[in-house]
Amino acid sequence: MKTFKRILFLVSISILSMPLIIYSGSSPSEPDNIGTILVSWAQLNPHLNLEYELHDVQYIPIAEPNEPMFENNDGEMDIYKVLTESYGSNNRGPSYYYYMHGGWSGWQCMDVGGQNSVDTDDASNNTAVVESVNLNQGQTIWAQIMSECHSNPNNSTSTNGRGFWYKWNKNLGPNDFALAQDTGIEMIFGYIDITTCTHHLDQDYGCGAGDAGNDPT
Amino acid sequence: MSILILACKKESTSPASHYFGFENYEVAAQNLGVYVHVLDATEGGIIMRETTYGNDGTQWDLGAIFRNSIFTENTNGGDYYINDVKFVHNGSFYAPEGYEELTNEEEGALISPLYGQTNEFKLIRDGEKVFESDYYIPESLKLFGLPTEPGAIDVSSSGSFTLSWNADSNNENGVVFYLFSNGVDVENITVGNELHRAIKVEDTGTVTLDKSFFNDLPIGAYFTLFAIRGNAELSQGTDDLSYNVYSITEHQISCKLVE
Protein backbone atom coordinates (compact mmCIF):
# COMPACT_ATOMS: atom_id res chain seq x y z
CA MET A 1 0.00 0.00 0.00
CA LYS A 2 2.71 2.47 0.96
CA THR A 3 4.68 1.63 -2.12
CA PHE A 4 1.68 2.20 -4.30
CA LYS A 5 1.20 5.64 -2.81
CA ARG A 6 4.79 6.38 -3.64
CA ILE A 7 4.08 5.26 -7.17
CA LEU A 8 1.48 7.98 -7.51
CA PHE A 9 3.91 10.51 -6.18
CA LEU A 10 6.43 9.36 -8.72
CA VAL A 11 3.94 9.97 -11.51
CA SER A 12 4.65 13.63 -11.19
CA ILE A 13 8.42 13.34 -11.12
CA SER A 14 9.16 10.22 -13.10
CA ILE A 15 9.81 11.68 -16.51
CA LEU A 16 11.68 14.67 -15.24
CA SER A 17 14.97 12.96 -14.61
CA MET A 18 16.09 10.07 -16.75
CA PRO A 19 19.10 8.15 -15.51
CA LEU A 20 22.52 8.78 -17.00
CA ILE A 21 24.40 5.53 -17.32
CA ILE A 22 27.50 5.16 -19.45
CA TYR A 23 28.90 1.92 -20.78
CA SER A 24 32.27 0.82 -19.55
CA GLY A 25 34.67 -1.94 -20.45
CA SER A 26 34.66 -3.24 -23.98
CA SER A 27 31.14 -2.06 -24.39
CA PRO A 28 31.07 1.29 -26.17
CA SER A 29 30.56 4.46 -24.18
CA GLU A 30 27.41 6.04 -25.43
CA PRO A 31 24.96 8.50 -23.94
CA ASP A 32 21.48 7.52 -22.98
CA ASN A 33 19.23 6.87 -25.93
CA ILE A 34 15.70 7.01 -24.62
CA GLY A 35 13.19 5.62 -27.06
CA THR A 36 10.27 3.29 -27.44
CA ILE A 37 9.81 -0.27 -28.54
CA LEU A 38 6.74 -1.92 -29.97
CA VAL A 39 5.57 -5.12 -28.33
CA SER A 40 2.84 -7.25 -29.87
CA TRP A 41 0.53 -9.53 -27.95
CA ALA A 42 1.48 -12.52 -30.06
CA GLN A 43 0.29 -15.41 -27.93
CA LEU A 44 -1.08 -16.25 -24.50
CA ASN A 45 -0.85 -19.69 -23.01
CA PRO A 46 -3.95 -20.00 -20.83
CA HIS A 47 -4.74 -21.97 -17.74
CA LEU A 48 -7.84 -23.47 -19.43
CA ASN A 49 -9.55 -24.47 -16.19
CA LEU A 50 -9.79 -21.28 -14.17
CA GLU A 51 -13.55 -21.57 -13.73
CA TYR A 52 -13.04 -24.47 -11.36
CA GLU A 53 -9.75 -23.36 -9.81
CA LEU A 54 -10.91 -19.93 -8.68
CA HIS A 55 -13.68 -21.17 -6.41
CA ASP A 56 -13.92 -24.58 -4.89
CA VAL A 57 -17.65 -24.96 -4.85
CA GLN A 58 -18.98 -22.77 -7.61
CA TYR A 59 -18.38 -22.51 -11.35
CA ILE A 60 -17.46 -18.91 -12.17
CA PRO A 61 -17.42 -18.11 -15.91
CA ILE A 62 -14.06 -16.63 -16.90
CA ALA A 63 -12.86 -15.58 -20.35
CA GLU A 64 -9.07 -15.74 -20.55
CA PRO A 65 -7.40 -13.05 -22.71
CA ASN A 66 -6.78 -15.38 -25.64
CA GLU A 67 -10.42 -16.30 -26.09
CA PRO A 68 -12.26 -15.37 -29.31
CA MET A 69 -14.31 -12.59 -27.71
CA PHE A 70 -11.09 -10.57 -27.37
CA GLU A 71 -9.77 -11.16 -30.91
CA ASN A 72 -9.47 -8.64 -33.71
CA ASN A 73 -10.41 -9.41 -37.30
CA ASP A 74 -7.07 -11.13 -37.84
CA GLY A 75 -7.62 -13.53 -34.96
CA GLU A 76 -5.04 -11.77 -32.79
CA MET A 77 -5.54 -10.50 -29.26
CA ASP A 78 -7.04 -7.01 -29.43
CA ILE A 79 -5.65 -4.95 -26.57
CA TYR A 80 -8.67 -2.63 -26.50
CA LYS A 81 -11.03 -5.55 -26.26
CA VAL A 82 -9.00 -7.34 -23.57
CA LEU A 83 -9.01 -4.22 -21.42
CA THR A 84 -12.52 -2.90 -22.08
CA GLU A 85 -14.69 -5.99 -22.40
CA SER A 86 -15.57 -7.74 -19.17
CA TYR A 87 -13.95 -11.14 -18.68
CA GLY A 88 -16.37 -12.14 -15.92
CA SER A 89 -17.99 -10.75 -12.83
CA ASN A 90 -17.38 -10.52 -9.13
CA ASN A 91 -19.05 -9.09 -6.06
CA ARG A 92 -18.59 -5.58 -7.49
CA GLY A 93 -20.10 -6.40 -10.85
CA PRO A 94 -18.39 -6.76 -14.25
CA SER A 95 -14.65 -7.26 -13.97
CA TYR A 96 -11.89 -6.18 -16.34
CA TYR A 97 -8.27 -7.03 -17.04
CA TYR A 98 -5.57 -4.44 -16.58
CA TYR A 99 -2.05 -4.46 -17.98
CA MET A 100 1.46 -3.26 -17.14
CA HIS A 101 4.69 -3.27 -19.09
CA GLY A 102 8.11 -1.76 -18.57
CA GLY A 103 11.84 -2.05 -18.22
CA TRP A 104 14.66 -0.58 -16.24
CA SER A 105 13.65 3.02 -16.83
CA GLY A 106 10.07 2.64 -15.66
CA TRP A 107 6.71 1.17 -16.49
CA GLN A 108 3.28 2.02 -17.80
CA CYS A 109 -0.15 0.76 -16.79
CA MET A 110 -3.31 0.52 -18.90
CA ASP A 111 -6.84 -0.30 -17.86
CA VAL A 112 -10.45 -0.01 -19.00
CA GLY A 113 -10.35 3.74 -18.62
CA GLY A 114 -7.26 4.45 -20.67
CA GLN A 115 -5.16 2.70 -23.27
CA ASN A 116 -2.80 5.45 -24.31
CA SER A 117 0.13 3.10 -24.76
CA VAL A 118 -1.53 1.09 -27.50
CA ASP A 119 0.17 1.69 -30.86
CA THR A 120 -2.35 3.83 -32.68
CA ASP A 121 -0.55 3.30 -36.01
CA ASP A 122 -1.47 -0.34 -35.82
CA ALA A 123 -5.11 -0.81 -36.83
CA SER A 124 -5.17 -4.32 -35.42
CA ASN A 125 -4.87 -2.99 -31.85
CA ASN A 126 -2.44 -5.82 -31.17
CA THR A 127 0.66 -3.75 -30.43
CA ALA A 128 1.60 -1.68 -27.39
CA VAL A 129 4.34 0.91 -26.98
CA VAL A 130 6.85 0.50 -24.17
CA GLU A 131 7.93 4.05 -23.47
CA SER A 132 11.08 5.58 -22.01
CA VAL A 133 13.34 2.61 -22.74
CA ASN A 134 17.07 3.31 -22.70
CA LEU A 135 17.95 1.55 -25.94
CA ASN A 136 21.67 1.76 -25.18
CA GLN A 137 21.45 -0.54 -22.19
CA GLY A 138 20.76 -4.22 -21.81
CA GLN A 139 17.77 -4.86 -19.59
CA THR A 140 14.81 -7.13 -19.07
CA ILE A 141 11.58 -5.95 -20.66
CA TRP A 142 8.44 -7.33 -19.03
CA ALA A 143 4.68 -7.24 -19.39
CA GLN A 144 1.78 -8.71 -17.45
CA ILE A 145 -1.97 -9.00 -17.77
CA MET A 146 -3.85 -9.10 -14.47
CA SER A 147 -7.40 -9.81 -13.46
CA GLU A 148 -9.17 -8.08 -10.63
CA CYS A 149 -9.12 -9.77 -7.25
CA HIS A 150 -12.53 -10.12 -5.68
CA SER A 151 -15.03 -12.51 -4.17
CA ASN A 152 -17.41 -14.44 -6.35
CA PRO A 153 -20.52 -12.64 -7.68
CA ASN A 154 -22.91 -14.23 -5.19
CA ASN A 155 -20.92 -13.08 -2.21
CA SER A 156 -21.97 -9.56 -1.37
CA THR A 157 -19.57 -9.27 1.53
CA SER A 158 -15.92 -8.45 1.11
CA THR A 159 -14.22 -11.62 2.15
CA ASN A 160 -11.05 -12.95 0.63
CA GLY A 161 -10.85 -12.48 -3.09
CA ARG A 162 -9.00 -14.35 -5.79
CA GLY A 163 -7.37 -13.15 -8.96
CA PHE A 164 -5.10 -14.53 -11.67
CA TRP A 165 -2.44 -13.20 -14.01
CA TYR A 166 -0.14 -13.78 -16.96
CA LYS A 167 3.43 -12.64 -17.62
CA TRP A 168 6.08 -12.31 -20.31
CA ASN A 169 9.66 -11.09 -19.99
CA LYS A 170 12.84 -11.17 -22.02
CA ASN A 171 16.42 -10.07 -21.44
CA LEU A 172 17.53 -7.93 -24.36
CA GLY A 173 20.68 -6.07 -25.34
CA PRO A 174 21.29 -2.92 -27.40
CA ASN A 175 21.52 -4.86 -30.65
CA ASP A 176 18.22 -6.58 -29.83
CA PHE A 177 16.68 -3.15 -29.43
CA ALA A 178 18.17 -2.07 -32.76
CA LEU A 179 16.60 -5.09 -34.41
CA ALA A 180 13.33 -4.37 -32.61
CA GLN A 181 13.20 -0.94 -34.24
CA ASP A 182 12.66 -2.82 -37.50
CA THR A 183 10.62 -5.78 -36.41
CA GLY A 184 9.12 -5.08 -32.98
CA ILE A 185 9.03 -7.73 -30.29
CA GLU A 186 6.50 -10.52 -30.06
CA MET A 187 5.39 -11.41 -26.57
CA ILE A 188 4.22 -14.83 -25.48
CA PHE A 189 2.35 -14.56 -22.20
CA GLY A 190 2.15 -17.47 -19.84
CA TYR A 191 -0.32 -18.12 -17.07
CA ILE A 192 1.42 -17.55 -13.73
CA ASP A 193 -0.84 -18.09 -10.76
CA ILE A 194 -4.06 -17.59 -8.86
CA THR A 195 -3.51 -15.05 -6.12
CA THR A 196 -5.44 -14.47 -2.93
CA CYS A 197 -6.13 -10.94 -1.77
CA THR A 198 -7.52 -9.74 1.52
CA HIS A 199 -7.28 -6.00 0.88
CA HIS A 200 -8.97 -3.60 -1.50
CA LEU A 201 -12.04 -5.77 -1.91
CA ASP A 202 -14.26 -2.69 -1.96
CA GLN A 203 -12.34 -1.13 -4.85
CA ASP A 204 -11.87 -1.88 -8.52
CA TYR A 205 -8.44 -3.06 -9.60
CA GLY A 206 -6.62 -1.02 -12.21
CA CYS A 207 -4.26 1.84 -12.83
CA GLY A 208 -6.17 4.81 -11.57
CA ALA A 209 -6.07 6.92 -8.45
CA GLY A 210 -9.32 5.44 -7.20
CA ASP A 211 -8.38 1.85 -7.80
CA ALA A 212 -7.22 -0.86 -5.45
CA GLY A 213 -4.09 -0.16 -3.49
CA ASN A 214 -4.52 3.54 -3.83
CA ASP A 215 -6.73 4.43 -0.89
CA PRO A 216 -5.26 7.64 0.53
CA THR A 217 -6.54 6.80 3.99
CA MET B 1 -11.82 2.38 -12.84
CA SER B 2 -10.26 5.68 -13.59
CA ILE B 3 -8.84 6.94 -16.83
CA LEU B 4 -5.46 7.68 -15.34
CA ILE B 5 -2.46 6.13 -17.01
CA LEU B 6 0.54 5.70 -14.80
CA ALA B 7 4.02 6.09 -16.15
CA CYS B 8 6.52 5.52 -13.42
CA LYS B 9 10.19 5.26 -12.87
CA LYS B 10 11.50 2.54 -10.59
CA GLU B 11 12.19 3.54 -7.04
CA SER B 12 15.68 2.15 -7.35
CA THR B 13 17.47 2.33 -10.65
CA SER B 14 20.65 0.43 -9.90
CA PRO B 15 23.07 0.17 -12.84
CA ALA B 16 23.41 -3.49 -11.89
CA SER B 17 20.09 -3.97 -13.63
CA HIS B 18 22.00 -3.66 -16.89
CA TYR B 19 24.69 -6.22 -16.09
CA PHE B 20 22.74 -9.29 -14.97
CA GLY B 21 22.99 -8.00 -11.40
CA PHE B 22 26.75 -7.40 -11.44
CA GLU B 23 28.04 -3.96 -10.50
CA ASN B 24 29.48 -3.14 -13.91
CA TYR B 25 30.34 -4.54 -17.31
CA GLU B 26 33.82 -5.77 -16.35
CA VAL B 27 32.58 -7.75 -13.37
CA ALA B 28 29.79 -9.22 -15.47
CA ALA B 29 32.34 -10.23 -18.10
CA GLN B 30 34.55 -11.90 -15.49
CA ASN B 31 31.62 -13.92 -14.20
CA LEU B 32 29.70 -14.67 -17.36
CA GLY B 33 32.33 -14.91 -20.11
CA VAL B 34 31.02 -14.66 -23.66
CA TYR B 35 27.46 -14.13 -22.51
CA VAL B 36 28.29 -10.53 -21.66
CA HIS B 37 28.45 -9.80 -25.40
CA VAL B 38 24.67 -9.63 -25.44
CA LEU B 39 25.23 -6.28 -23.70
CA ASP B 40 27.57 -4.96 -26.41
CA ALA B 41 26.30 -2.44 -28.91
CA THR B 42 27.89 -2.69 -32.34
CA GLU B 43 27.29 -1.27 -35.80
CA GLY B 44 26.41 -4.64 -37.23
CA GLY B 45 25.61 -8.15 -36.24
CA ILE B 46 23.49 -11.25 -36.35
CA ILE B 47 21.10 -12.27 -33.58
CA MET B 48 19.88 -15.82 -33.06
CA ARG B 49 17.76 -16.67 -30.05
CA GLU B 50 15.67 -19.65 -29.11
CA THR B 51 13.44 -19.09 -26.08
CA THR B 52 11.44 -21.88 -24.48
CA TYR B 53 8.73 -20.82 -22.04
CA GLY B 54 8.19 -23.43 -19.33
CA ASN B 55 6.08 -26.14 -20.94
CA ASP B 56 4.44 -23.61 -23.25
CA GLY B 57 6.42 -23.82 -26.45
CA THR B 58 9.33 -22.12 -28.15
CA GLN B 59 9.90 -18.76 -29.77
CA TRP B 60 12.68 -18.13 -32.27
CA ASP B 61 14.28 -14.81 -33.12
CA LEU B 62 16.54 -14.47 -36.14
CA GLY B 63 17.73 -11.19 -37.57
CA ALA B 64 20.60 -8.96 -38.59
CA ILE B 65 21.34 -5.28 -38.22
CA PHE B 66 23.65 -2.73 -39.74
CA ARG B 67 24.00 0.97 -39.10
CA ASN B 68 26.80 3.30 -40.09
CA SER B 69 27.30 4.31 -36.49
CA ILE B 70 25.89 2.94 -33.28
CA PHE B 71 22.40 4.15 -32.46
CA THR B 72 21.69 5.63 -35.84
CA GLU B 73 18.97 4.10 -37.97
CA ASN B 74 19.42 0.66 -39.44
CA THR B 75 20.26 0.48 -43.11
CA ASN B 76 21.65 -1.84 -45.79
CA GLY B 77 25.24 -2.83 -45.08
CA GLY B 78 25.62 -5.69 -47.55
CA ASP B 79 24.55 -9.32 -47.44
CA TYR B 80 24.86 -11.38 -44.28
CA TYR B 81 25.33 -15.11 -44.42
CA ILE B 82 24.77 -17.90 -41.93
CA ASN B 83 26.49 -20.79 -43.66
CA ASP B 84 24.79 -20.80 -47.08
CA VAL B 85 21.68 -18.87 -46.06
CA LYS B 86 21.85 -15.33 -47.42
CA PHE B 87 20.20 -12.45 -45.60
CA VAL B 88 19.39 -9.42 -47.74
CA HIS B 89 18.10 -6.01 -46.73
CA ASN B 90 14.62 -5.57 -48.20
CA GLY B 91 14.51 -1.83 -47.71
CA SER B 92 13.15 -2.12 -44.21
CA PHE B 93 15.06 -4.93 -42.50
CA TYR B 94 17.16 -8.02 -43.11
CA ALA B 95 15.42 -11.25 -44.03
CA PRO B 96 16.58 -14.49 -45.64
CA GLU B 97 16.59 -14.20 -49.39
CA GLY B 98 13.21 -15.22 -50.73
CA TYR B 99 11.33 -14.32 -47.57
CA GLU B 100 9.50 -11.06 -47.00
CA GLU B 101 8.95 -11.80 -43.35
CA LEU B 102 9.54 -14.94 -41.32
CA THR B 103 6.95 -16.63 -39.16
CA ASN B 104 8.03 -18.14 -35.87
CA GLU B 105 7.90 -21.59 -37.41
CA GLU B 106 10.01 -20.52 -40.39
CA GLU B 107 12.59 -18.99 -38.09
CA GLY B 108 12.64 -22.21 -36.09
CA ALA B 109 13.16 -24.26 -39.23
CA LEU B 110 16.16 -22.11 -40.12
CA ILE B 111 17.67 -21.87 -36.64
CA SER B 112 17.13 -25.33 -35.17
CA PRO B 113 19.64 -27.18 -37.37
CA LEU B 114 22.39 -24.72 -36.41
CA TYR B 115 22.50 -25.75 -32.75
CA GLY B 116 25.05 -28.43 -31.91
CA GLN B 117 27.39 -27.65 -34.78
CA THR B 118 30.00 -25.14 -35.93
CA ASN B 119 28.61 -22.41 -38.16
CA GLU B 120 29.99 -19.65 -40.31
CA PHE B 121 28.71 -16.08 -40.08
CA LYS B 122 29.88 -13.37 -42.44
CA LEU B 123 29.04 -10.10 -44.14
CA ILE B 124 29.73 -9.58 -47.83
CA ARG B 125 29.63 -6.05 -49.20
CA ASP B 126 30.44 -5.17 -52.81
CA GLY B 127 31.90 -8.63 -53.27
CA GLU B 128 34.32 -8.27 -50.37
CA LYS B 129 34.16 -10.07 -47.05
CA VAL B 130 33.81 -7.48 -44.29
CA PHE B 131 33.99 -9.88 -41.34
CA GLU B 132 33.64 -13.55 -40.56
CA SER B 133 32.94 -15.44 -37.33
CA ASP B 134 33.08 -19.19 -37.07
CA TYR B 135 32.04 -20.85 -33.87
CA TYR B 136 30.26 -23.77 -32.30
CA ILE B 137 26.69 -23.16 -31.17
CA PRO B 138 25.82 -25.43 -28.25
CA GLU B 139 22.84 -27.71 -28.48
CA SER B 140 19.36 -26.35 -27.85
CA LEU B 141 18.88 -26.22 -24.07
CA LYS B 142 15.85 -27.84 -22.48
CA LEU B 143 15.18 -28.10 -18.75
CA PHE B 144 14.00 -31.52 -17.59
CA GLY B 145 11.46 -32.62 -15.04
CA LEU B 146 9.37 -29.47 -14.85
CA PRO B 147 5.93 -29.72 -13.22
CA THR B 148 3.22 -30.33 -15.78
CA GLU B 149 0.53 -28.23 -14.09
CA PRO B 150 0.26 -24.65 -15.38
CA GLY B 151 1.73 -21.69 -13.56
CA ALA B 152 4.65 -20.69 -11.38
CA ILE B 153 6.86 -23.30 -9.75
CA ASP B 154 7.23 -23.08 -5.97
CA VAL B 155 10.81 -22.56 -4.77
CA SER B 156 11.46 -23.01 -1.07
CA SER B 157 13.25 -20.17 0.68
CA SER B 158 14.73 -22.58 3.19
CA GLY B 159 16.25 -25.13 0.86
CA SER B 160 18.19 -25.42 -2.35
CA PHE B 161 16.65 -25.69 -5.81
CA THR B 162 17.88 -28.26 -8.31
CA LEU B 163 17.43 -28.04 -12.06
CA SER B 164 18.43 -30.50 -14.77
CA TRP B 165 18.94 -30.03 -18.49
CA ASN B 166 20.46 -31.73 -21.52
CA ALA B 167 24.22 -31.34 -21.09
CA ASP B 168 26.45 -30.49 -24.03
CA SER B 169 29.99 -31.73 -23.50
CA ASN B 170 31.19 -29.64 -26.44
CA ASN B 171 30.05 -26.40 -24.85
CA GLU B 172 33.01 -24.55 -23.37
CA ASN B 173 31.01 -21.49 -22.30
CA GLY B 174 29.05 -22.97 -19.43
CA VAL B 175 25.40 -22.31 -18.67
CA VAL B 176 24.13 -19.10 -17.08
CA PHE B 177 21.27 -19.12 -14.62
CA TYR B 178 19.73 -15.66 -14.41
CA LEU B 179 17.08 -14.62 -11.91
CA PHE B 180 14.85 -11.64 -12.68
CA SER B 181 12.08 -10.14 -10.60
CA ASN B 182 10.33 -6.96 -11.75
CA GLY B 183 9.31 -6.16 -8.17
CA VAL B 184 5.58 -6.08 -8.87
CA ASP B 185 3.56 -7.53 -6.00
CA VAL B 186 0.35 -8.60 -7.69
CA GLU B 187 -1.43 -9.40 -4.43
CA ASN B 188 -0.83 -6.09 -2.69
CA ILE B 189 -0.63 -4.01 -5.88
CA THR B 190 2.76 -2.54 -5.12
CA VAL B 191 5.86 -2.04 -7.26
CA GLY B 192 9.23 -2.50 -5.60
CA ASN B 193 12.77 -2.86 -6.87
CA GLU B 194 13.89 -5.08 -9.68
CA LEU B 195 16.18 -7.93 -8.68
CA HIS B 196 18.80 -9.36 -11.03
CA ARG B 197 21.18 -12.19 -10.16
CA ALA B 198 23.23 -14.52 -12.35
CA ILE B 199 25.67 -17.37 -11.99
CA LYS B 200 27.57 -19.36 -14.61
CA VAL B 201 28.05 -23.09 -14.06
CA GLU B 202 29.69 -25.92 -15.96
CA ASP B 203 27.50 -27.56 -18.57
CA THR B 204 27.12 -30.82 -16.64
CA GLY B 205 23.34 -31.13 -16.93
CA THR B 206 22.46 -30.34 -13.33
CA VAL B 207 22.78 -27.47 -10.90
CA THR B 208 21.73 -26.96 -7.32
CA LEU B 209 21.10 -23.31 -6.58
CA ASP B 210 21.74 -22.55 -2.92
CA LYS B 211 19.02 -20.74 -1.00
CA SER B 212 21.31 -17.69 -0.91
CA PHE B 213 20.67 -17.32 -4.65
CA PHE B 214 17.16 -16.24 -3.73
CA ASN B 215 18.19 -13.78 -1.03
CA ASP B 216 16.46 -10.41 -1.10
CA LEU B 217 13.25 -11.87 -2.51
CA PRO B 218 10.32 -11.64 -0.07
CA ILE B 219 8.21 -14.71 0.58
CA GLY B 220 5.51 -14.79 -2.05
CA ALA B 221 7.62 -13.00 -4.66
CA TYR B 222 7.29 -14.10 -8.26
CA PHE B 223 10.37 -14.24 -10.44
CA THR B 224 11.67 -15.73 -13.67
CA LEU B 225 14.63 -18.06 -13.86
CA PHE B 226 16.45 -18.21 -17.18
CA ALA B 227 18.77 -21.09 -18.11
CA ILE B 228 20.96 -19.67 -20.90
CA ARG B 229 23.46 -21.42 -23.16
CA GLY B 230 25.10 -20.21 -26.32
CA ASN B 231 28.05 -18.55 -27.93
CA ALA B 232 28.98 -15.07 -29.03
CA GLU B 233 31.83 -13.29 -30.75
CA LEU B 234 32.79 -9.69 -31.39
CA SER B 235 34.66 -8.95 -34.61
CA GLN B 236 36.33 -5.97 -36.15
CA GLY B 237 35.35 -5.56 -39.78
CA THR B 238 37.59 -4.52 -42.63
CA ASP B 239 35.52 -1.33 -42.58
CA ASP B 240 36.74 -0.66 -39.02
CA LEU B 241 33.21 -1.17 -37.70
CA SER B 242 32.34 -3.68 -35.01
CA TYR B 243 30.16 -6.77 -35.45
CA ASN B 244 28.48 -8.82 -32.76
CA VAL B 245 27.16 -12.29 -33.51
CA TYR B 246 25.38 -14.08 -30.70
CA SER B 247 23.48 -17.32 -30.71
CA ILE B 248 21.46 -18.02 -27.60
CA THR B 249 19.27 -20.90 -26.48
CA GLU B 250 17.37 -20.30 -23.26
CA HIS B 251 14.65 -21.97 -21.26
CA GLN B 252 12.80 -19.77 -18.80
CA ILE B 253 10.52 -20.80 -15.98
CA SER B 254 8.25 -18.74 -13.74
CA CYS B 255 8.72 -19.29 -10.04
CA LYS B 256 7.30 -18.21 -6.69
CA LEU B 257 9.29 -18.08 -3.46
CA VAL B 258 7.50 -19.92 -0.67
CA GLU B 259 8.28 -20.68 3.00
Q: Which ipTM did the prediction report?
A: 0.94
pTM: 0.89
pLDDT at position B7 is 56
For chain B, give every domain's residue range.
15-258
Measure CB to CB from residue B2 to each of A6, A174, A209 and give the nearest one. Answer: A209
Question: In B126-241, at which residue ranges do the beta strands (DSSP E only) sit?
Answer: 128-137, 143-144, 153-156, 161-165, 175-181, 184-185, 190-191, 195-201, 206-209, 222-236
pLDDT at position B18 is 81
DSSP state for residue A63 in the 8-state scheme: -
Q: Is residue A27 part of a domain?
A: no
Q: In the predicted model, is pLDDT for residue B6 greater than 60?
A: no
Q: Is residue A209 part of a domain?
A: no
Residue of chain A whose alpha carbon sits nearest to that of B23: A24
Q: Is residue A131 part of a domain?
A: yes
Cα separations (Å) of B36 from B21, B27, B151, B176?
Answer: 12, 10, 30, 11
Q: Is residue A185 part of a domain?
A: yes
Contacts of B256 in chain A (CB under 8 A): 193
Q: For residue B70, give every residue at least 6 positions away whose Cβ sits within 8 Å of its Cβ, in sequence order, or none.
A: A28, A30, A174, B41, B42, B43
User: Which one of A117, A171, A199 makes the best mutation probe of the B interface by having the most chain B beta carbons within 10 Å?
Assistant: A171
Q: For residue B20, give every residue at least 6 positions away whose Cβ sits within 8 Å of its Cβ, in sequence order, or none.
A: A171, B28, B32, B35, B176, B178, B196, B197, B198
Long-range contacts of B28-33 (CB under 8 A, 24+ apart): B28/B198, B29/A25, B29/A26, B31/B198, B31/B199, B31/B200, B32/B176, B32/B198, B32/B200, B33/B173, B33/B174, B33/B200
Contacts of B18 in chain A (CB under 8 A): 21, 104, 137-139
Q: What is the pLDDT of residues A141-176, one digit of tens each?
A: 999 999 988 776 665 554 677 889 999 999 999 999
The domain in which residue A54 lies consists of 2-9+33-197
Q: What is the pLDDT of residues B139-192, one digit of tens each?
A: 999 999 999 999 999 999 999 999 999 999 999 999 999 999 999 888 777 888
Please state the domain count of chain A. Answer: 1
Q: Is residue A216 part of a domain?
A: no
pLDDT at position A14 is 34
